[in-house]
Structure 1
Amino acid sequence: MKLSCLIVDDEPLARAGIKYLLSQQQQFEITAEADNGNDALRLAELHQPDIVFLDIQMPGLDGLSVFKQLTNKPAVIFCSAYAEYAVNAFELSAVDYLLKPFSPERFQQALLKACGKIIQRLNSNQPNDTAPEYVSRLTIRDPGRLRIVEVSDISWISSAGNYVDIHVYPQQKNYLLRDTMAAIEKKLDPAIFARIHRSSIVRKSDIVELRPGDKGDADVILKCGTVLTMSRRNRAALAELFGQLS
């Protein structure tokens, strides 16, 4: 799933620069552009973007006034040549404040902050405040880009040293995330995912076959054809499936 972006700046070259940097990362899409504050509000209401890149000094409403009137509460990154407005921007809970001209690396830092805020907001919208907060998206940092992976697309996860290897079934791809198996297991809903081995976590609904072994272990076959090993000590994770074999 891509994150939608609205770019607001009265300078065409500034908008083009942001568009170019975003084009280097496939997980973002530009839904609209505006060169003044009034159009920015109208387009924000129309498209409900995830991220807004917002200039300060523009015709009509200035950037700070636009921010105050936004109703959908997107992640806002200010892009301005004027440093004196930064304090006011952060007081309004801006994600970041980029001083023009900014480097691609600095832009990347701002994007990472925006993604973090979006994920935090999604996780805080659970209907039951007492329920565990399981993530719906993972942010993976690749060289020169940020990748958003929907948890609903994950088929299985394996250990890879200091990383976990996330296997996405719909696209037949895998992505490395710097995390531990224990930490990633806590982020996933146990009603959907099961830890079947110290080095494997699997989506239960992707299991198409179980082949019990002689020592309490089993081969777990997934719809993609992958065969994983379930250790005897993790057998309880799939107890309901083994019960159907009895």
Structure 2
Amino acid sequence: MMKLSCLIVDDEPLSRAGIRHLLEQQPQFAIAAETDNGADALKLAKLHQPDIIILDVELPVLDGLTVLKQLNHQSAVILCSGSADYAVHAFDLSAVDYLLKPFSPGRFQQALLKACSRIIDTLVTNKAEPTLQYVDRLTIRDPGRLRLVDVNDIRWIQSAGNYVEIYVYSQAKCYLLRESMTSLQQKLDPALFARVHRSYLVRKQDIAELRPGDKGDAHIMLKCGAVLPVSRRHRDQLAEMFGYPEQ
């Protein structure tokens, strides 16, 4: 049976031992190496090219987010932390999952399953042609002219019938684009934008707060102060970004 190699990076010996114990219970995973700091993590990742990296955020020398930015190998990275503060940034950097310490064996198993799915998706994508390219600007038709909107300028997008309203950083008013929300979502990088509702698509790094409701729904507050609804369908995904335990 082919085994998936794992690198454990955590500066707490008890945390490393706990992760090691959980991995050793499952024959499909093999521990390639362990370390307690970010600098060695990069060296070991380059040496072993592990399939999965379980990476603590608070590390000496280099923190986990810095390590994740500098990784050259396409490992599936599970970030861990005692704080939910770094969750949005972690997903922006394409982390597979974000575990809030202390996590249960079941929650860890869920993260491993996500890592396995990412590995499979990567293998399929590498074989597929052509590779999907996301747009970096949108063309909006105004009366008598065409306007180019940089995707990096977009805060959130709101459905408006046969149109979408595009809210940006650079000005107070929104742009109106004749396109469906589903079609537009397929053009935008999912590492940058999250669908939070049938009518809303939001830049992940702009989400400041998640406010769960008592009927399965929720709201998010953006850094600009705007409050947008979150549907039941998308609430769990947003809760994972913030490291909230499953209900």
TM-score, normalised to structure 1, is 0.52
Aligned to 1:87: 88
Which consecutive segments of 4 or more residues in structure 1 shift more than 3 A? 127-130
Aligned to 2:105: 104
Give the superposition deviation at 1:67: 0.2
Q: Which moved more, 1:89-98 or 1:120-129?
A: 120-129
Matches of residues 59-74 of structure 1 in structure 2 within 5 Å?
Answer: 59-74=60-75
SS in 1 for 2:86: helix
CA shift digits 1:92-118 (9 cap, x unpaired): 010000011000110011001000000
Greater Rg over alpha carbons, structure: 1
SS in 1 for 2:118: helix
The separation in 2 between residues aligned to 1:27 and 1:18, in whole angstroms, is 15
Give the superposition deviation at 1:127: 6.4
The one-letter code of the counterpart of 1:103 is: S
Identity %, equivalent residues: 69
Aligned to 1:17: 18
Aligned to 2:150: none
The separation in 1 between residues aligned to 2:58 and 2:20, in whole angstroms, is 19
The one-letter code of the counterpart of 1:56 is: V
The one-letter code of the counterpart of 1:26 is: P
Aligned to 2:206: none
Aligned to 2:37: 36
The separation in 2 between residues aligned to 1:70 and 1:124, in whole angstroms, is 19
Aligned to 2:119: 118
The separation in 2 between residues aligned to 1:67 and 1:73, in whole angstroms, is 10
TM-score, normalised to structure 2, is 0.51
The one-letter code of the counterpart of 2:124 is: N
Aligned to 1:2: 3
CA shift digits 1:146-188 (9 cap, x unpaired): xxxxxxxxxxxxxxxxxxxxxxxxxxxxxxxxxxxxxxxxxxx
Q: How many residues align?
A: 130
The one-letter code of the counterpart of 1:101 is: P
The separation in 1 between residues aligned to 2:11 and 2:129, in whole angstroms, is 43
The separation in 2 between residues aligned to 1:18 and 1:127, in whole angstroms, is 34
The separation in 2 between residues aligned to 1:56 and 1:126, in whole angstroms, is 32
CA shift digits 1:69-128 (9 cap, x unpaired): 000121000111111011110110100000110001100110010000000001111165
Matches of residues 222-233 of structure 1 in structure 2 within 5 Å?
Answer: none
CA shift digits 1:31-53 (9 cap, x unpaired): 00010000000000000000000
The one-letter code of the counterpart of 2:108 is: F
The separation in 2 between residues aligned to 1:52 and 1:64, in whole angstroms, is 13
The separation in 2 between residues aligned to 1:126 and 1:115, in whole angstroms, is 17
The separation in 2 between residues aligned to 1:99 and 1:84, in whole angstroms, is 10
The separation in 1 between residues aligned to 2:113 and 2:96, in whole angstroms, is 10
Cα 1:9–1:126 shift into 2, 3 Å: same
Structure 2, gaps ≥5 residues long: 132-247
CA shift digits 1:184-232 (9 cap, x unpaired): xxxxxxxxxxxxxxxxxxxxxxxxxxxxxxxxxxxxxxxxxxxxxxxxx
The separation in 2 between residues aligned to 1:63 and 1:84, in whole angstroms, is 13
Measured on the aligned residues, the alpha-carbon RMSD in Å equals: 1.3
Aligned to 2:78: 77
Q: Which has the higher contact order (CA 8 A, sep 6+)?
A: 2
Structure 1, gaps ≥5 residues long: 131-246
